[in-house]
Amino acid sequence: MLITSMFSLKYINVAMVTVLKNVTNVITAVGEMYLFSKHHEGRVWAALFLMIISAITGGITDLSFNATGYVWQTLNCFLTASYSLTLRRVMDTAKQYTKSGNLNEFTMVLLNNTLSLPLGIFLMLVFNEVDYLLRTPLLRLPSFWLVMTFSGVLGLAISFTSMWFLHQTGATTYSLVGSLNKIPLSVAGILLFKVPTSLENSASILFGLLAGVLFARAKIRERSQS
């Protein structure tokens, strides 16, 4: 999930990535319907449909369209949805096979990061990053260690809060909350990186972001009614 996200950002601007990530909500909602027999009301599906339309129109009007980047982002959407659904399944399974009835957030973060180590080591060997790591002068810079430590703390915080959030809600709700931070992220991405855009593309991005907000409101109403 993280690797495909990095590769997609290499080819696609931040604003388009945030809009295309809305497709993850659609995949997650469908997955919850089939895996957990969870049904969503009409407003939720209407918002999801608007997200799909915004992703399509955004791709058509993207001045910096890159097919490779869109392939990576499509893979990322499926992998992100799979990640959310798998975590939800693991938590439900833990209720049946553990004495306490659940796995706490610290245990989930520990297991999640430990299981990712083999893949990380494999990729380091494939891309010959071990040799680079031994020769790079960055390891002698205090600022490098400060930034890397800060990044690690943020990563741990993201993992912990993600696990806690999934414990309290569902995979679809977990995905939709990410939709709310996309508005400032998209604007910042366009301004900071001076992304070439057109009126049509900007409109499609705004349309997608508003669809994400509508989706959040529909899910909140659905949750309050249930």
Could you read off the pLDDT of 29-59 as tens digits, one per residue? Answer: 888 888 888 887 787 788 778 777 877 777 6
Per the structure, the complete domain to which residue 83 belongs is given by 1-225
Rounded distance, CA 4 to CA 76, Å? 5
CB 24 within 8 A of CB 48: no
- pLDDT tens per residue, range 153-204: 888 887 778 777 766 766 566 666 665 566 566 666 666 666 666 676 677 7
**Cβ atoms within 10 A of the Cβ of 217, count?**
14
Give the rounded percent of residues in the chain with a pLDDT score beyond 70. Answer: 73
Number of domains in the chain: 1
Residue 82 and residue 171: Cα distance in Å, rounded? 10
